[in-house]
Amino acid sequence: MATNAVVNYPEYRLHTKARREANTAIMALLVGSPMAAHLLNLTDGSKTLIPQIFPAIHHVNRFNLTPGEARAVLVNADSHLGTMAVPYALALHEDLMRSCVNMVNAPVPDNASRLHGALSTATGQHFSPDLLSQFHLVREMRNAVIHSGGTIDSRVVQRATALSPAASQNWVRIVGRSPLGLPAGSSIDLGTGEMLLALSVTTALAREANRMLIASVSRQRWAEVIIDDFVDNHDLAGLKRITADRRMKKVENFARFHYGVLAMTTAELQVTAGQAHLV
């Protein structure tokens, strides 16, 4: 099995779409802010307010500053972007993890910090320790920002010191600064680096979770998922106008496109397709 192979079942497709859209929007803001700041160099020294210069921009009246003031805000916008984007990235991942735990018919924990453990226990498989330790550190940092006004508590310190040397080096490579040595009670901000790390780690963990499902969900259950997915994405009235053989061929093509890594056989699909009155 290829290491990057995944099963694109409905919830995973929705997650991938949402994650890509979020990533694109985040990068647009990350790049757009300095671009806008650079553009405002052309109006350096002007006392005319931004709404008067760019009246056609939606919501511009909420940014009632001079070009100089606006430029100062835009230059430093990346720190605020990280604070907003990290919780968003983690929320998307935690939602996916709930669907994964549900797929293996295991109890879904109320506490999001236990989701990965629940899936590991149910499947008998394990996430990369370094990825998981990085995820839990950035999760505790998010909690500190949201619930403690950015004040580091002992849980952040414990998660940071628990990083392996490799995980710590990778953190520094992506974030640009080490999480070690931050004393409890000091302040932390979620910057661009933490945002990029959150996006990277959650993407990798999502793939690992998907591969756990490949081996742990029964072939019969996968066949049911495929047929339900097929029915939800096809016009049943149109399907009834073609022969049973052609309908089955469409089912096989659909399974090959979205669920190719499972290598489902015609016989496996045909039983469930028959129960759904497709053949």
Of 139, 128, 149, the closest CA to residue 179 belongs to 139
pLDDT of residue 1: 42
Q: What is the pLDDT of residues 134-181, one digit of tens each?
A: 999 999 999 999 998 889 999 999 999 999 999 999 999 999 999 988
Residues 205 and 127 sit within 8 Å (Cβ to Cβ): yes
CB contact burial 209-240 (16+ within 10 A = b; e otherwise) = bbbbbbebbeeeebbbbbbebbeeeeeeeebe
Side-chain-side CA neighbours of residue 90 (13 Å): 27
Q: What is the mean pLDDT of the chain?
A: 93
Residues 272 and 220 sit within 8 Å (Cβ to Cβ): yes
Length of the chain: 279
- Those residues with Cβ within 8 angstroms of residue 115's Cβ, 6 or more apart along the chain or in another chain: 94, 97, 98, 101, 108, 109
CB atoms under 10 Å from CB of 167, counted, come to 20
Of 94, 86, 38, the closest CA to residue 191 belongs to 86
Give CA–CA dist 99/60, Å, rounded: 40
DSSP result, 7-65: ---HHHHHHHHHHHHHHHHHHHHHHHHHHHHHHGGGGTT--S-HHHHSTTSTTGGG---
Per-residue pLDDT tens, the chain, 279 aa: give them. Answer: 444 589 999 999 999 999 999 999 999 999 999 999 999 999 989 999 999 999 999 999 999 999 999 999 999 888 789 899 999 999 999 999 999 999 999 999 999 999 999 999 999 999 999 999 999 999 999 999 999 888 999 999 999 999 999 999 999 999 999 998 888 888 888 889 999 999 999 999 999 999 999 999 999 999 999 999 999 999 988 888 999 899 999 999 999 999 999 999 999 999 999 998 888
